[in-house]
Structures are given as C-alpha cells and as structure tokens.
Amino acid sequence: MIKAGIIGGAGYTAGELIRLIINHSKLELDFVFSTSNAGNKIIDIHQDLIGEIDLNFTDRINENIDVLFLCLGHGNSTTFLQKNKFSKNTKIIDLSNDFRLENDKIFNGKTFVYGLPELNKKAIKNTNYLANPGCFATAIQLAILPLAKRSLIYDDINVNAVTGATGAGTSLSKTTHFTWRDNNFSSYKAFTHQHLGEINQSIKSLQDNFDDEVVFIPNRGNFSRGIFATTYTKFKGTIEEAKTMYKEFYQDAAFTFISDKEIHLKQVVNTNKCLIHLSKHGNKILITSIIDNLLKGASGQAIQNMNLMFGFDETEGLQLKANYF
C-alpha cells in the first residue's frame, strides 16, 4: 500500500481527496495536516465521512511519506516546502498555482511537471513533482487543445464559464454567503483571471505561433459544484471534421469524451469526467465543456495524476457515478 499525506486538510478539495484516498485500493491515508484543527476528528469537519474514517487532524508530518498532496491556498505551498523537508522518494502533488507556470516550475532543485494528463501524460509518468491544473484552466484547455494541436487557432478565443460556489473555497466572504449567492449570478476577474497564464502556456506548447487573445469571462453560479464553459472561435472546417479531430485527440484519454448530444452539468458532477460538445455556427465553432470543479478540476485529477506517477491504472479509485438524479 502507498502511504499518502495531505497538507491543508479542512477545505473542500481536501475533503474530496480524503474521500478518494480512503476508497482507493492502492492507498492508505497516513496523516491529514491542519494546524488549526490539530487533534480534532476529521469527521467533525468533513461530516460526509462519518463511518468511513477514524483519524484525527495532526500538526505533525511523516517525512518518509510515499505521496504528499498540498491542498494549501495559492502562494502557501512554496512557504510550506521551504520549512518542511521530505524524503527524496516522496512524490509531491501541489493543487495550488505555485508551480504551474514555466517560470515557477523549478523550486529548491525540484522540477514540477504541469499535470494535465491529456497534454503531458508521458512527462507525468516520469516525474516526482507535479503541479495540478486549475479548475477553469482544465475545462477551457480541454475545449481548445485539439485546435492548437493542428495549429488551427487564428483568431481570439472567447470563453464564458460558470463555476459553483465550492470554487471559492470554505472561507466566508460577501459573495459566498447563502443570502448573496442564492438566486444570484455575477461575473468576476473578467479578462484577468489567474488561470489565463497556464491556458496560454499550454496552447503555445502545441501551437507556437499563437499570438491571439484568450478572452475569458468567469462567472459565479448559484449552485454548489461544477463548471460549465462555452468557448467559441473562428473555424474554417466542417463540424464533421471538427468532431473527427476531437475524437482522435482524445481517443486515449481516460476521462475526456466527445458527446454528439448537448451536455449539462448533472452528467459530470461527482465524476472525474470532462464532456465536450461541438457545434458550428457560420464561420465559428462553439465548444461546450463541463467538469466537476472539485474532482476533474482538483482532487480527482490529482488522483488521476498520482495513478500515472506510480504506474497504477489511470482510472483506479475514480470509477464514480454522476449525481444525475
């Protein structure tokens, strides 16, 4: 059994990660580190795990852990790794944005690989240090990378995407209170969202002459989880050619599928899937992509990457049914 540790155990992504680890046939949860909850039962915070786990949060770490998941706020993973040392054999998977960009990938002699399996599977299999992609970035990249692979992006890419309330984390703010979020809808960080850096980086890794703009409008939805993204850009081919191209690009992808029918969020919530639907409108192609922001957009993708890093079946522990009803 592979022993896993989690740093920053009280948030939504950590809660989902704990659930996935304790139900994974190859993993054993060794510790969940949380300075603010040390000594408290994990089920006091993650109440959906009652009857499934009997561990307490701890403020101590096991330096010889096999795999370490960092579920810390952005900017905090570097601070934690500066203060704490682990075995050279410990594989580290960071769920923040600290190591995703090319300029940030080398830290204390460790080179982090960008962990989008549909893009970097070979590199993921051969690394000990991984930067898990952002949730919006995952949904948007999976929508447009097949075009970049064929160097078919020659105009701005326009994206409108909506995320559930869990995307904002557990800390309370004006826009996370029920009375504000319920029956409400709003945009935020228009044109400036932090995930744009990794999106542009991945596009250019496939299409180095890309010099147009990804125009991204993120929105807050009044639901708990999921991302629904609509992306459009100019496209000269037919819809049949587009579908063939996308299906070929994702033919070996374990969790990304092209749907011939229109898609909706209930098809992916509580799964590690990304579903994509394509349609042609005049000289533009419309690409709809949907994921669960806490699973394929965070913890599920982290487990998918861990499976690849340890040589397990990519789908191990991730055979999850959508909350359709």
Q: Which residues are catalytic?
A: 135
Task: Report in angstroms the alpha-carbon separations of 70 from 93, 98, 241, 258.
Answer: 6, 11, 41, 31
pLDDT, one tens digit per residue, over 2-33 is 999 999 998 999 999 999 999 999 999 999 99
CATH of the domain at 113: 3.40.50.720
Tokens 């807050």 map to which residue?
220
Same domain, 157 and 257: yes
Among 132, 156, 176, give the residue marking a domain's end.
132
Among 79, 104, 132, give the residue marking a domain's end.
132
Contact 200, 257 (CB under 8 A): no
Per-residue confidence at 172, pLDDT binned at 50, 70, 90? low
What does DSSP say about strands 256-259 and 214-220: parallel, antiparallel, or unpaired? unpaired
Taking the C-alpha atoms of residue 97 and residue 183, their distance in angstroms, rounded to an integer, is 31
**What b/e string do you get for 76-97 counting C-beta neighbours within 10 Å, with b at 16 or more?**
ebbebbeeeebeeebbbbbbbb
Same domain, 277 and 176: yes
pLDDT, one tens digit per residue, over 190-220 is 999 899 999 999 999 999 999 999 999 999 9
Same domain, 120 and 204: no
**Facing residues of 2 across strands?**
27
pLDDT, one tens digit per residue, over 256-295 is 999 999 999 999 999 999 999 999 999 999 999 999 999 9
Residue 282 lies in a domain: yes
Same domain, 245 and 149: yes
User: Residue 244 belongs to what domain range?
Assistant: 135-291
Per-residue confidence at 166, pLDDT binned at 50, 70, 90? confident
Laid out side by side, the sheet with 129-131 consists of 27-33, 2-7, 67-70, 91-94, 129-131, 113-114
pLDDT at 170: 66
pLDDT at 180: 81
Taking the C-alpha atoms of residue 234 and residue 270, their distance in angstroms, rounded to an integer, is 33
Contact 318, 26 (CB under 8 A): no
Same domain, 119 and 146: no
Residue 20 lies in a domain: yes
Residue 255 lies in a domain: yes
How many independent structural domains does the chain possess? 2
For the question of whether the overall pTM of this predicted structure is more than 0.75, the answer is yes
Residue 240 lies in a domain: yes
Contact 228, 290 (CB under 8 A): yes
